[in-house]
Structure 1
Amino acid sequence: MSDLLFPAEPGQRAIARELYELARDQPLISPHGHVDPAVLADDEPFPDPARLLIVPDHYLTRMLLSQGIPPARLGVPTRDGEPTETDGRAIWRLFAAHWHLFRGTPSRLWLERTFETVFGVTTRLTPETADEVYDAIAARLTESAFRPRALFERFNIEVLATTESPLDDLAAHAKLAADGWGGRVITTFRPDDVVDMEFEGWAQRVARLGEVAGEDTATYKGYLAALRSRREAFIAAGATSSDHGHPTARTLDLAPAEAARLFARGLRGEADAADAEAFRAHMLVEFARMSIEDGLVLQLHPGAVRNHNRWLHGAHGRDVGGDIPQATEYLHALTPLLDAYGNDPRLRVVVYTLDEYTFTRELAPIAGGYAAIYLGAPWWFLDSPEVLRRFREAVTESAGFYNTAGFVDDTRAFCSIPVRHDVARRVDAGFLARLVAEHRLPFDEAAETIVDLAYRLPKRVFRLGDEQ
């Protein structure tokens, strides 16, 4: 067994090995992610290695952009249809020529572990070995054992949550259900594009929401009814949570008349940035009310300045690596929601952050003091071994282990899912081993805890099992 990420001190390393063995083969619970459900619904062979592993991974393409390599040369589609590189081998060679840029980064760790543990390729990637590695992975992709559903089974994924807009017809999930995969791949309700007035085409999207739900979304009352209707459809498709990616964590509990006035200004195109922020903040409290009614776990992902690289957004669109984290305040921002529902055990709010300095100061004490709040795992810019360790160190003293929600992989890269979970389990084994070595936790309790963190806790928090 590899000692990857285990403590260097021999005594702690030996304990970490024992603890990791207990967690290593636990089924994967993936309650938050962005894999396209059509990948599993259609179960078609994956494309060439470059289109599978490089083109859609903005961690990789943004690093090369930082060194002057435009995304078009890596095959990233353009908004205006301008041509991009289509030769997978050429993309792979270009990437390999710049592989040194990823030394010490989590991206290198994810990718090397994916090469080895998923595809059985142990050759080190270099400019000289680029074709050898490419050909080895390409050969695997022609085998039936490397089709999406076969890999799903091999990865030991018990539940995989995808993320869809209320405007999505959920056809891929319907096909999965018809094929007998319902309950294993579930959807997540992500309403940002019909809530955020600053989202491009918001008013038209709200109108489309009304058409999809059969409600009059020209009125605020009809808008809320449409959202409730779509939540019901998502729950029928297996959803157990909603997801909200707001710029800030601000919440507001407005009177219905004031919320309706904001909504009307938005539809007329008269809302300014302050109006948009106030409406987003109010809708978080509104969604909390809906969650108490229908049981969806509310996930809040604040703190990203979307499309900060305006050239990148203009050339290639959203979600291609142009977002940047910002400092995020939680204590005062969440107070209206906490005042209204923070002590209601029927509500579950899983809060994430891109600002790790808030773990100790705000988030852990909040989670340790309110029944409704759980801490989500470090994500996106923070999903590295170093921050996973710091997360445990920062939050455990105030929130313990059981006010956290386990690990989420938060990935579009299907083949990296088992690698990411494995890294989290190794980091947790190391953290718990230190507590055991310092005589702060008996081994038997550490053994129970690591299985809880890997498997039982995310199942319970995200209402994915019988014990909720």
Structure 2
Amino acid sequence: MTRPLVFSDDRLFPADERTRGIARALYGQVKGLPIISPHGHTDPAWFATNAPFEDATDLLLAPDHYLFRMLYSQGISLDALKVRSKAGVPDTDPREAWRLLASNFHLFRGTPSWLWLNHVFSQVFGLKVFLGAETSDLYFDTINEALATEAFRPRALFDRFNIETLATTEGPQDRLEHHKAIRESGWGGHVVTAYRPDAVIDFEDERFGRSFERFAEVSGQDVTTWKGYLEGHRVRRQAFIAAGATSSDHGHPTAATADLSETDAEALFQSLLKGEVTPAKAELFRAQMLTEMSRMSLDDGLVMQIHPGSHRNHNVGLLASHGRDKGADIPMRTEYVEALKPLLTKFGNDPRLSIILFTLDETVYSRELAPLAGHYPVLKLGPSWWFHDSPEGMMRFREQVTETAGFYNTVGFNDDTRAFLSIPARHDVARRVDSAFLARMVAEHRMDEVEAAELIVDLTYNLPKKAYKLDQRPSWARPVQPIKHAAE
């Protein structure tokens, strides 16, 4: 029996009627604001070629690790879901893969994926019944028919979603040809890149050898010397800046930093290049490179993002058969106070540097991250991330960091996603949760409605734009109108 898909306008607002009314009013001020998506992993080729998406499975299921990790946990094989393996894309009927998602959609009750997907289904595709085994074919056919139209090409959706800026993420070994094509296309959508050097910094990464070779090719430097290696990064960072980058991104296992002498750093680098790789040496090199990246940011202005604390590819069997990013990354305990001390001792008071910290370890919100960001001028706190990108996770973040770091040492929301169609849904959830949090403060007389009205606009739009230095748009991007506080 099919059920109507009813998506309440009051979702995620407080149950108390008075507080809910305040939240509803605050949300109304930001519901239609443009989306600033300053960090994510969408494919720039989508916007360069503007080719139609293939089908519902290819777009919504197969690339989304939030979805297939849950299904995998229930014993459903990734091959049955048409998830790419090292052998290539399995020869699975996409309709049958979609039926597996549909018949198991109840598994996502209470998760953010339920909210995101139902937002996509109802608001983007206009579906009016819940996804289930009996509606699987209706969904598959409706979505595929829409994807075949001009209105569902990547650029049209970008404009429909009211995205002002979207940042992708590439490595220094990438040639950025898709970003070049976007700039030269005449389209005007502001799609930029971000510098993610992990694959040529982490000697324990299985991609290191080939990535290092390509890094040498595209940088034109002798990257087998310490001086040439650092110069290679400087050259590639400038190429990324020319492609619109305003930030770098560092997904190290820990937040460790180091301040080695030039002689010791070069000796460590040469030892690793010779194959003398140990976990301790690889960790020390990653730590030194965070400090080197900070030094480069002082010169070129890129905002640093540090995303530590994930034990990536925990399932070694799945890594062997299917490769990276298959839903087997697991959060770890992460320490920041001592880990960041070498970098902060060197650069922590320099106003030219800006570092945004993220965590997968919620125990450090109030104990470490909020006090650090509440003191050091170079530090800001990124939003609740990855496993905590949920209504409960967002609320825990606000509750635990605000009393020490305030609101203005945070940077608003970023979606950090590969799932393009879920971007409006994710931002909508963040806007609703922030509205609910501020509404509670108003109801408890901890701030007045004028302050809350200013804050909700800042959290939604002004803070991410300022933190990621997106105030200046290149000549090829469409101009935008400045957003004012409601009080103005």
Structure 1 equivalent of residue 447 of structure 2:
441
Instruction: Find the counterpart in structure 2 of residue 55 from structure 1.
Output: 62
1:280-291 correspondence runs (5 A):
280-291=286-297
The reply to whether residue 154 of structure 1 matches residue 160 of structure 2 is yes
Partner of 1:431: 437
2:360/2:388 contact within 8 Å kept? yes
- Rounded Cα–Cα distance in structure 1 between residues aligned with 2:392 and 2:128: 25
Offset of residue 80 of structure 1 = 2.9
CA distance in structure 1 between the partners assigned to 2:456 and 2:302 by the alignment = 26
* Residue aligning to 1:241: 247
Match for residue 20 of structure 1? 27
Of 238-247 and 250-259, deviating more is: 250-259
**Residue 385 in structure 1 maps to residue 384 in structure 2:** no
Q: How far apart are residue 182 of structure 1 and its match?
A: 6.0
Q: Secondary structure at the match of 1:56?
A: coil
Alignment of 1:307-386 (within 5 A): 307-386=313-392
Q: 2: distance between equivalents of 1:250 and 1:201? A: 21
Aligned residue pair count: 466
The separation in 1 between residues aligned to 2:245 and 2:173, in whole angstroms, is 15
| Structure 2 contact 374–409 (Cα < 8 Å) conserved | yes
TM-score by length of 2: 0.94
Q: Is the 8 A contact 2:173 2:212 kept in 1?
A: no
Counterpart in the other structure of 1:45: 52
Determine whether 1:8 maps to 2:32: no
Output one character per residue of 1:199-240: Cα deviation in whole Å (capped at 9) or x when no partner: 114244323212211111110100000000000000000000
1:233-266 superposed Cα distances (whole Å, 9 cap, x missing partner): 0000000000000000000011111111111111
339-348 or 455-464, larger mean C-alpha shift: 339-348
**1:179-218 correspondence to structure 2 within 5 Å:** 179-181=185-187, 184-218=190-224
| C-alpha distance in structure 1 between counterparts of 2:248 and 2:264, whole Å | 25
1:326-377 deviation digits (Å, cap 9, x = unpaired): 0100111011111111111111100000011111110011000010000001
Alignment of 1:26-41 (within 5 A): 26-41=33-48
| TM-score for both structures, normalised by structure 1 | 0.98
Contact 1:246 1:303 in 2 (8 A): yes
Indicate the residue corresponding to 2:479 in structure 1: none
1:97 to 100, 103, 109: 103
How far is the alpha carbon of 1:42 from its aligned partner?
0.7
Secondary structure of 2:287 counterpart: helix
CA distance in 2 between partners of 1:309 and 1:406 (Å): 33
Report which stretch shifted further, 197-206 or 62-71: 197-206
Q: Do structure 1's residue 113 and structure 2's residue 81 form an aligned pair? A: no
Counterpart contact for 1:262–1:271, Cα < 8 Å: no
CA distance in 2, matches of 1:428, 1:126: 31
In structure 1, the residue matched to 2:478 is: none
Q: Is the 8 A contact 1:405 1:457 kept in 2?
A: yes
**Hey, what's the Cα distance between the residues in 2 that align with 1:206 and 1:155?**
37
Contact 1:173 1:182 in 2 (8 A): no
The 4+ residue runs of structure 1 with deviation greater than 4 A are none
Distance of 1:71 and 1:141 partners within structure 2 = 24
| 1:123–1:133 Cα contact (<8 Å) kept | no
Q: 2:395 & 2:208 partners in 1: Cα distance?
A: 39
Q: Contact between 2:79 and 2:92, CA under 8 Å: does it hold in 1?
A: no
CA distance in 1, matches of 2:435, 2:345: 37
Confirm or deny: 8 A CA contact 1:203 1:266 kept in the other structure.
no
Give the secondary-structure state (helix, strand or coil) at the position aligned to 2:233: helix
Give the whole-Å Cα distance in 1 for the aligned partners of 2:101 and 2:33. Answer: 34
Segment drifting more, 240-249 vs 134-143 = 134-143
Comparing 173-182 with 157-166, which one deviates more in the overlay?
173-182
Percent same amino acid at aligned positions?
A: 58
- Structure 1 stretches lacking a partner, 5+ long: none
Alignment of 1:170 with 2:165, yes or no, is no
Tell me the distance in 2 between the aligned counterparts of 1:117 and 1:201.
39
Mapped contact 1:244–1:299 kept (Cα < 8 A): yes
Q: 1:295 maps to what in 2?
A: 301
- Whole-Å separation in 1 of the counterparts to 2:453 and 2:87: 54
CA contact (8 A) 1:74 1:85 kept: no
Which residues of structure 2 form unaligned runs of 5+?
Answer: 1-7, 474-488
Pair 1:226-2:226 in alignment: no
Q: What's the CA shift for 1:180?
A: 2.7
Q: Secondary structure of the residue that 1:299 maps to in structure 2? A: strand
